[in-house]
Structure 1
Amino acid sequence: MPAPRRPAAVAFLILAASPAWAAGVRLGAPFGDHMVIQRDRPVRVWGEAAGGAGVRVRLGPRQERATAAPDGRWSATLEPLPAGGPYVLTAESGGQRAEAADVLVGDVWLCSGQSNMQMTLKESDGGPEAADAAGALGKLRLCSVGKRPSAVPESVGEIRWRVASRESARDFSAVGFFFAADLLADPALRGVPVGVIDASFGGTMCEGWVPAEALSGFAREDLRDSMFGIRPSGLYNGMIAPLGKTSIKGVVWYQGEGNSDRPALYPRLLAALFASWRGRFEDPGLPFIVVQLPDYAPGWSGVSWAWIREAQAAAVRSAEHASLAVGIDTNDGSDLHPRPKREIGRRAALLALHDVYGRPVVARGPEFLRATPEGGSLRVAFDTAGDGLMARGGGPVRGFAVAGADGRYRYADAAIDGDAVVLRSQSVPSPLTVRYAWAGAPGANLVNRSGLPAAPFRTDRATQADADVQRQLAGRLVQTKSYEVVVGGNGMVTSLVAGGKQFLSNDPGWAGGTTLTGGWAPRNLADIREPGPGFLSCADDDVRLDLEFGEGGMDWTVANRGKGEVRLRIALHPKVAVHRRGEPGPVELRRDAAIVLVTGADLVSGPEGSQVLEAAIAGGATRRLTLSFAGK
């Protein structure tokens, strides 16, 4: 959860402790030791000094003078510098000096969005190994912006630059790190320092990242708060505005999950974000690389992610200097926060190399051109840029569906013919329209020879409608004479029946069954194993839930190997009556004649009819709940 706004005195202490602060003169929030300044662009430097005081600013061979305004604010613009360094950036006034040491000049990329951009290197596949090798990337610098929403635009923020190392990389954005590492691997950029700024916040809406003036054309009822009660514009105010008018090379944007249940509004929101950030950084051609959401079967509020992907693609098509990194086929679609982040970073880096740096690399998969009916088939042509078409993994091409005049789609057989795919379906004798990869987790496999996927598309104009049939991860059923338990594919208990009565809420999503919450969303304990008879172990990287079943009861043990607290929530059926036997003591759950005694819960929350048992597990701690059964 984000920290509340600090009072002014605390903010002053943060500045006073910074190497960029000295009595009488201060460098602005983005300027600190180990930073990267954008090459080949005017260098905008600002800060504070005594009102009316002269300030001399130096960076390597460049220097400039400024005069502080009556309110103490000053700014100076230095001539551009080529890639190089390290330098010392200094601001001198009235015999005082503030400085930022070990400053490199290179390319600066801003990586922003919600939880999948925030997901750290240590949490991703191959991330711990990449972090161990991070020290070898001598030209890479990592910058973290504190998660600090605000009601008004701020000029001060918690901004920290660090040299790439195992320690700094482990807790940095995985997508941001892999993106930068792939840039540095390109021969043309190996001598160019790269700085990556991670300004991400899990559980957030696009409107939280857009300044208030850019949202003035939206109806208030169309704008929603993010998680933790963060209001529209709050993240822009607290995390983007403190970057000031820093020159940057481009933006990698990975967000959309929070807006996926209302995709029609998203292109307007993203267009507002593009325009406002380009104004903030005074670069009308600032490149944006938008990560199109990857596979996720459950969707959001009953809306398939196919529609938000279409909205993301529409926003990119309508904007100049914007590119779309296709995210499908990078995971199995079961996890809201998929661990495979290396491929997402690689695809974004390929687009940056091709579209921004002009490098001769294949950066996109096949791009849809047109669909032409040919009697009983439909010919779908693609722009392959000479890289051809193929099915990933061999075998038949999957993911196409066709419809006739009635608009009813059926999956089609697909045959590659040069730079086209010919579609046929016995159920659709005269196909007119086509959809490709149109599902939450579509299982589509059309790629080019470089292995980059074709993006989802459709040729109909039907309004949004969903009946998305998805395969789910296999769960487990446990039966004894006293009770019956169902464990879903995410490692959560979804059903508990005792005495023929259901004790858990069957409300959809996070409100039903059991959840383990921590950070910005419920955890997905999809690594389910059976270490022994009557024993299930469900885990992710940081948390393990052990379920040990006996004839008359069971133990639920949560081991939290992470740093932050997690909470086990057991949502109860509306007809379950709750009583606590003493303080402290077991909680008695009664439904008619059936009784379940729960020992180890911290509290019972919620009103009668929607009550929840909760247990908090601190970082590095283990908690056990015991459930025993009585009654008939």
Structure 2
Amino acid sequence: MSNLQLDGIYTDKMVVPANKHFYISGHALPKADVSVEIFQQTYQTTADADGVWKVRLLLAEKLTCDIKITSLDEEKTLHQVRSGKVILLTGQSNIEFKFRDDAEYQSEIDHLTLDNTYFYNVPQLEYHDDNLTLPTDLETSTWQVANKETLWEMSDIGYWAAKKLHELNPEEVIGIIDCYKGGTSISSWVPESVLSSDQELVKRFIKPFKEATTGKVQADYDQEFADYNALVDKHNTDLAKFQKENPEVSLSDAKDAVGHTPWPPPMTPTSYLRPNGLFHTMIEQVKNYAFDKIVWYQGENDADNPQVYDIMLRGLVLSWRDLFKDFSVPFLIVQLPGYFDEPKDAWPIIRQHQLEITQKINDVHLVSIADTGEKHNIHPTHKRIAGTRIGEILSDQSYSSTPVVYRQQVLDDKLILSVTSASSLVQRGNAYFLVKQADQWQKRQVRTVGKLIVLDNCQGIQKIRYAYDNYPTCTLFNELGAPVAPFEMEIG
């Protein structure tokens, strides 16, 4: 085995940000000299006592080159390295959802017009021991050209975003880094410092994990999984029987009668669902890379803990910026789409937290897709609208976010709300708010004037809500068709 190793993301055909410093990193013999040559310039460093090394580099726009790394008598070369726009896509299952499963996959492949696009799938490492020993069966990954032969394994959202980026700037090289894991809480994606900083997070995540994994032997875990699998099998059997006996009933109604699939599975010390796990096993795999922007699409699995989502989301943004040593890297937070089958108001609460975090931290922007989604399908197979909207914002040729209500003003008896990211608002049908007056909620129609929302007869209003449902009806859009983000707002 070679003593000179590069971290996994550094392969041929990789894309690095143009005009932004990035690192090449890896391992060598402890205290060994390492040199990196690029465009006939050589950069030197020395591996530390553990053999870890990294070198800081910069590539200008529209460049392609080879990078040669040497240490002692060993040499490695990275071929066809390109500079361009690099996007980190991360989160859970709806951003993990593969392009091959999109309803439009075959028609897109048959008429593919995508060029200058490359992607890298971060290996889904679920656990490593204290010695950072990687499983022998862990699939490795390389940078790939996005074409008819490879796109089946790319993120569906990533494909549509890259397609829009390419349409807007055909000459720009695009690098998509896919880093996601389905079924996960945001608590798995943050470091220990975030969860330990708040007693409510300790109570909801750290203590249950310790209780579930303390004082047990393997036989205990085996029995728990046997019981869990028996519940899943029984659920599947009962659901199939109910559907056969009631063929006219929808899947959602059938699940209401029979119950939903048991989730999550039992917790173990090595479960990928454990607190902080994926921060170490996946995000830290790319800690030395550099990104132009980060897209975070997650929240579905925190429907049981929506009240504390804001603490974890804030912690995620700040801790990742610290890990990447890039304290201003822009984040795009994807506001959840519509989905009915969750506890009442769980998704509206999470959407509100997603909105508020973009208003509290610099260079964090909202991409609302609340006008998309399927009422009883948590994994819609149509993601063109969501991905295209993300791509438009990533392009820097449009608004920096979808429309957001950011200011309130009371004039006479009118409540006037100002909206960002719009030159004019478009109504699709009548637009209604829920309005709280005298501690009572009522439905009230609103109107638009340019990019303002106006509510008449507003005396004594305490709070307003717009599209505040798990599966909302969005009626207000900007001139580009992007929805005004669902929100809740205190008045006064």
TM-score (norm 1): 0.62
Q: Aligned pair 1:338/2:373, yes or no?
A: no
Amino acid at match of 1:111: L
- C-alpha RMSD of matched pairs (Å): 2.7
The structure showing larger relative contact order (alpha-carbon pairs under 8 Å, at least 6 residues apart) is 2
The answer as to whether partners of 2:401 and 2:421 remain within 8 angstroms in 1 is: no
Q: Deviations over 1:87-116 (max 9, x none)?
A: 222212233212222221222111100011
Q: 2:77 aligns with which of 88, 99, 118?
A: 99
Q: Aligned pair 1:390/2:426, yes or no?
A: yes
Secondary structure at 1:409's aligned position in 2? strand
Amino acid at match of 1:440: N
What is the CA–CA distance in structure 1 between the aligned matches of 2:196 and 2:56, rounded to whole Å?
Answer: 32
The answer as to whether partners of 1:149 and 1:237 remain within 8 angstroms in 2 is: no
Give the match for residue 474 of structure 2.
Answer: 444
Q: 2:390 aligns with which of 341, 348, 351?
A: 348
Would the alpha carbon gap of residues 47 and 442 (structure 1) be closer, same or farther in structure 2, given more than 3 Å must change?
A: closer
Q: Aligned pair 1:77/2:56, yes or no?
A: yes
Q: 1:321 aligns with which of 363, 370, 384?
A: 363
Q: 1:234 aligns with which of 277, 284, 299?
A: 277
Secondary structure at 2:472's aligned position in 1? coil
Give the match for residue 567 of structure 1.
Answer: none
Amino acid at match of 1:66: T
Secondary structure at 1:451's aligned position in 2? coil
Give the match for residue 224 of structure 2.
Answer: none
Secondary structure at 2:56's aligned position in 1? strand
What is the CA–CA distance in structure 1 between the aligned matches of 2:464 and 2:363, rounded to whole Å?
Answer: 29
What is the CA–CA distance in structure 1 between the aligned matches of 2:434 and 2:411, rounded to whole Å?
Answer: 14
Which structure shows the higher strand fraction?
1
Q: Aligned pair 1:404/2:441, yes or no?
A: no
Q: 2:101 aligns with which of 80, 101, 123?
A: 123
Q: Deviations over 1:410-430 (max 9, x none)?
A: 2223333444444469xx997
Q: Deviations over 1:357-404 (max 9, x none)?
A: xx35585325352263855xx534233556212213xxx323422232
What is the CA–CA distance in structure 2 between the aligned matches of 1:267 and 1:132, rounded to whole Å?
Answer: 42
Q: 1:51 aligns with which of 24, 27, 30?
A: 30
Give the match for residue 213 of structure 1.
Answer: 193
Secondary structure at 2:75's aligned position in 1? strand
The answer as to whether partners of 1:373 and 1:432 remain within 8 angstroms in 2 is: no
5+ unaligned residues in a row in structure 1: which ranges? 1-15, 17-22, 462-632
Amino acid at match of 1:222: R
Q: 1:260 aligns with which of 297, 303, 316?
A: 303
Deviation at 1:244, TM superposition (A): 2.9
Q: Aligned pair 1:147/2:183, yes or no?
A: no
Q: Aligned pair 1:175/2:205, yes or no?
A: no
Deviation at 1:439, TM superposition (A): 0.8
Secondary structure at 1:266's aligned position in 2? helix
The correspondence of residues 536-547 of structure 1 with structure 2, limited to 5 A, is none
The correspondence of residues 263-278 of structure 1 with structure 2, limited to 5 A, is 263-278=306-321
Q: Aligned pair 1:283/2:334, yes or no?
A: no
Identify the range of structure 1 (199-208 vs 101-110) with the bigger mean alpha-carbon deviation: 101-110
Amino acid at match of 2:326: D
Amino acid at match of 1:411: K
Would the alpha carbon gap of residues 71 and 304 (structure 1) be closer, same or farther in structure 2, given more than 3 Å must change?
A: closer
Please tell me whether Structure 1 or Structure 2 has the larger radius of gyration of its CA atoms. Answer: 1
What is the CA–CA distance in structure 1 between the aligned matches of 2:107 and 2:40, rounded to whole Å?
Answer: 39
The answer as to whether partners of 2:423 and 2:450 remain within 8 angstroms in 1 is: no
Would the alpha carbon gap of residues 96 and 431 (structure 1) be closer, same or farther in structure 2, given more than 3 Å must change?
A: closer
Give the match for residue 195 of structure 1.
Answer: 175
Which structure shows the higher helix fraction?
2
Q: Aligned pair 1:413/2:445, yes or no?
A: yes
Give the match for residue 298 of structure 1.
Answer: 341
Secondary structure at 1:334's aligned position in 2? coil
Q: Deviations over 1:229-285 (max 9, x none)?
A: 321111111111111311111210000111123222111101111111111111000
Identity over aligned residues, as a percent? Answer: 26
What is the CA–CA distance in structure 1 between the aligned matches of 2:316 and 2:109, rounded to whole Å?
Answer: 32
Give the match for residue 482 of structure 1.
Answer: none
Secondary structure at 1:415's aligned position in 2? strand
What is the CA–CA distance in structure 1 between the aligned matches of 2:310 and 2:300, rounded to whole Å?
Answer: 14
Secondary structure at 1:64's aligned position in 2? strand
The answer as to whether partners of 1:347 and 1:363 remain within 8 angstroms in 2 is: no
The answer as to whether partners of 1:366 and 1:447 remain within 8 angstroms in 2 is: no
Secondary structure at 1:270's aligned position in 2? helix
Identify the range of structure 1 (272-281 vs 62-71) with the bigger mean alpha-carbon deviation: 62-71
The correspondence of residues 474-513 of structure 1 with structure 2, limited to 5 A, is none
Aligned length: 423
Give the match for residue 408 of structure 2.
Answer: 370
Q: 2:292 aligns with which of 229, 244, 249?
A: 249
Q: 1:137 aligns with which of 114, 117, 120?
A: 114
Would the alpha carbon gap of residues 258 and 399 (structure 1) be closer, same or farther in structure 2, given more than 3 Å must change?
A: farther
Q: Deviations over 1:326-362 (max 9, x none)?
A: 11112343321122322212222233334xxxx3558
Would the alpha carbon gap of residues 380 and 155 (structure 1) be closer, same or farther in structure 2, given more than 3 Å must change?
A: farther
Secondary structure at 1:65's aligned position in 2? strand
5+ unaligned residues in a row in structure 2: which ranges? 210-262, 266-270
Q: Deviations over 1:153-175 (max 9, x none)?
A: 85978443111112321121111
What is the CA–CA distance in structure 2 between the aligned matches of 1:421 and 1:69, rounded to whole Å?
Answer: 59
Give the match for residue 586 of structure 1.
Answer: none
Give the match for residue 578 of structure 1.
Answer: none
